[in-house]
Amino acid sequence: MAPLENDVNLSAASLPVYGPALGDQEIANLAECIRTGQLIHGPFVTEFERKIAEFVGHAHGVGTNSGTAALHIALLLAGVKPGDEVLINTLTFIAPANAITYVGAHPVFIDAELDTWQLDPLRLQSFLEVSCRWDGVRLVNATTGRPVTAIVLVHFLGVPGDLDAVCALADRYNLRLIEDAAQALGTEHRGRRVGGVGPIGCFSFYGNKLITAGGGGMIVTSDAEWAARARYLVNQAKDDPVETLHNNIGYNYRMTNLHGAIGCAQFERIDRHIEAKRRIARRYAEGLADLPGVSLVSEPDDAFFTFWLSSIRVDPALFGMTAREILAAVAPLGIQTIPLYQPLHLSKAHAGARCEGGEVAELLAQQCLSLPSSVDLAPEDQDRVIGAIRALAAEASPRASAA
Ligand SMILES: *Cc1c(COP(=O)(O)O)cnc(C)c1O
Which burial class, exposed, middle or buried, applies to 1 when counting CB atoms under 10 A from its CB (0-12, 13-18, 19+)?
Answer: middle
The best mutation among 6, 52, 64, 93 to test binding of ligand 1, ranked by most ligand atoms within 8 Å of the C-beta, falls on 93
Ligand 1 centroid to residue 205 C-alpha, Å: 8
Q: What is the predicted pLDDT for the residue at 6? A: 43
**Which residue's CA lies nearest to atom 14 of ligand 1?**
182
Strand partners, 62: 219
pLDDT digits (tens, 9 = 90+) for 253-271: 999 999 999 999 999 999 9
Ligand 1 centroid to residue 214 C-alpha, Å: 13
Residue 64 and residue 234 in contact, taking contact as beta carbons nearer than 8 Å: yes
pLDDT digits (tens, 9 = 90+) for 129-175: 999 999 888 999 999 999 999 999 999 999 999 999 999 999 999 99
Residue 198 and residue 9 in contact, taking contact as beta carbons nearer than 8 Å: no
User: Which residue, 280, 271, 249, 258, is CA-closest to 371?
Assistant: 280
Q: pTM score, two decimals?
A: 0.94
Ligand 1 centroid to residue 159 C-alpha, Å: 15
Measuring from each residue's beta carbon to the nearest atom of ligand 1, which residues come in under 6 Å? Answer: 66-68, 92-93, 95-96, 154, 180, 182-183, 204, 206, 217
Ligand 1 centroid to residue 332 C-alpha, Å: 29
Q: What is the predicted pLDDT for the residue at 398? A: 56
- Spans of the chain, pLDDT less than 50: 1-11, 400-403
